Structure 1
């Protein structure tokens, strides 16, 4: 695990590099997640690629700043600057859920940095939070409301919702997804994210992204249903959609071998 100060915020990342000649994959996780969600996919990818897996602020081990503006545009800029600081000139972006939307923002902001994009059950078409909720984030102690809501849901309940095969859920998995939330500062940062997060890219924005895009979707995804993947496939002009049976939202955990197979065809070494 490495850390670097980027745009005033400490960003943690994992880097697996054995050669300067391998294609570079940048892995971006989803909302309330971290690089931990790629723990089963990274061992397969690192044999063939240079892999950079980033804890998007304020998640994982990255800083939970109460000064940073947690807009997608800003988070995308942090990722762009980190990639540049590591002197990678051309990368393939791999994004799960919210991380997929960040990938699309990066492609819009820094077109020439991106070679290809892999979207794993990517979020899409979400609007900005309601104005009443945004105003509520300015109330003192609003972060306690955020904390109580997440605690009531519980990590195990969330995992049951995102994984089709419930037998995969063990204590290691529960611990891995719980750990980042033991730091109370994340709830203050999440309050700021509710306030700052703009809506997802519009169909008009998506039409301008001409990079090759591979969409991989679990057919039983209850968080971001397959209908979103089908709409993204229509709106992204150079895209391919692959669906996986008996699979939920957390495809890197559930189907790492299948995801690796499709990535290796899409990004040949």
Structure 2
């Protein structure tokens, strides 16, 4: 069966493209999902002179889309990947049809106290801290194999990419670019997201999205929507592909 639509999925900070494996398995056969590891995470090393800014990540994703010869696609951005997806979508790239944001880092600086940033910096490379992070950012029960995957992804992040996001990327303000968004958007947020709360999304993300964009809460879910609630994500994607 020929592919009727492609989804390009951008993962969360300290994660990898395999965070979308459950989502890929639940999509209709006539669609495809591409979920690259972003530079500095998973198995993807950063290009020479990569500066880890949101713009640099958007450049990298744009090049990835070009290498895959995509002419019609939807962007999915989860958490950190959401901030990157918004920056890329604001460029009005050819072929982009729609945008689904999953508990995104807002276009404005992500709200995080100095103490929390320092604690996150100090947690780098520590298995016990990675396990604590898994507990704090999920709310629905997940199989042990997925818990292990989340922890392993956390621990194989490069320290440069880890610190760059905490110190700079998450603080970037791209709100001035948001009026350039010209594709349909949806915003999906876990009801019990403790990393970036529904209240933050209502205040810092939703008002900057195109008029008519809906915010949908996923009952019971935490921050890791592609793992905790893949069927809810697929349902939200239903409007994006041709019938």
- TM-score by length of structure 1 reads 0.77
Residue 253 to residue 193, structure 1, CA distance change in 2 (3 Å):
closer
Residue in 1 that maps onto 2:183: 211
* Cα separation, 1, equivalents of 2:181 and 2:34: 23
Matching residue within 36, 43, 47 for 2:29: 47
Query: Which contiguous aligned blocks of 4+ residues in structure 1 show a shift greater than 6 angstroms?
Result: none
Aligned residues: 235
Aligned positions of 1:19-38 closer than 5 A: 19=2, 21-38=3-20
Secondary structure of the structure 2 residue equivalent to 1:93? strand
C-alpha contact (below 8 Å) 1:61/1:180 kept by paired residues: no
Q: Aligned-pair distance for 1:194?
A: 4.9
Rg comparison, structure with higher value: 1
Is structure 2 residue 213 aligned with structure 1 residue 230?
A: no
* Cα separation, 2, equivalents of 1:175 and 1:250: 14
Q: 1:71-115, CA deviations, whole angstroms, 9 ceiling, x for partnerless residues?
A: 110111111011111111121101111101111111123433321
Secondary structure of the structure 2 residue equivalent to 1:36? helix
Is structure 2 residue 146 aligned with structure 1 residue 163?
A: no
Residue in 2 that maps onto 1:63: 45
Q: 1:200-242, CA deviations, whole angstroms, 9 ceiling, x for partnerless residues?
A: 421x322331210011111111111112322322221241221
* Cα separation, 2, equivalents of 1:207 and 1:74: 20
Aligned positions of 1:135-154 closer than 5 A: 146=121, 148-151=123-126, 154=129
Deviates more, 1:77-86 or 1:63-72: 63-72
Secondary structure of the structure 2 residue equivalent to 1:243? strand
Is structure 2 residue 158 aligned with structure 1 residue 186?
A: yes
Matching residue within 70, 83, 90 for 1:101: 83
Residue 120 to residue 129, structure 1, CA distance change in 2 (3 Å):
closer
Higher RCO, 1 or 2 (CA under 8 Å, sep at least 6)? 2
* Cα separation, 2, equivalents of 1:84 and 1:247: 34
Q: Aligned-pair distance for 1:52?
A: 1.0
Q: Aligned-pair distance for 1:182?
A: 5.2
Matching residue within 229, 236, 239 for 1:262: 236
RMSD between superposed Cα atoms in Å:
2.8
Residue 241 to residue 250, structure 1, CA distance change in 2 (3 Å):
same
Matching residue within 238, 247, 254 for 2:221: 247
Secondary structure of the structure 1 residue equivalent to 2:84? helix
C-alpha contact (below 8 Å) 1:210/1:236 kept by paired residues: no
User: Which segments of 5 or more consecutive residues in structure 1 lack a partner in the other structure?
Assistant: 1-17, 131-144
- TM-score by length of structure 2 reads 0.84
Is structure 2 residue 183 aligned with structure 1 residue 201?
A: no
* Cα separation, 2, equivalents of 1:206 and 1:23: 25
User: Which segments of 5 or more consecutive residues in structure 2 lack a partner in the other structure?
Assistant: 114-119
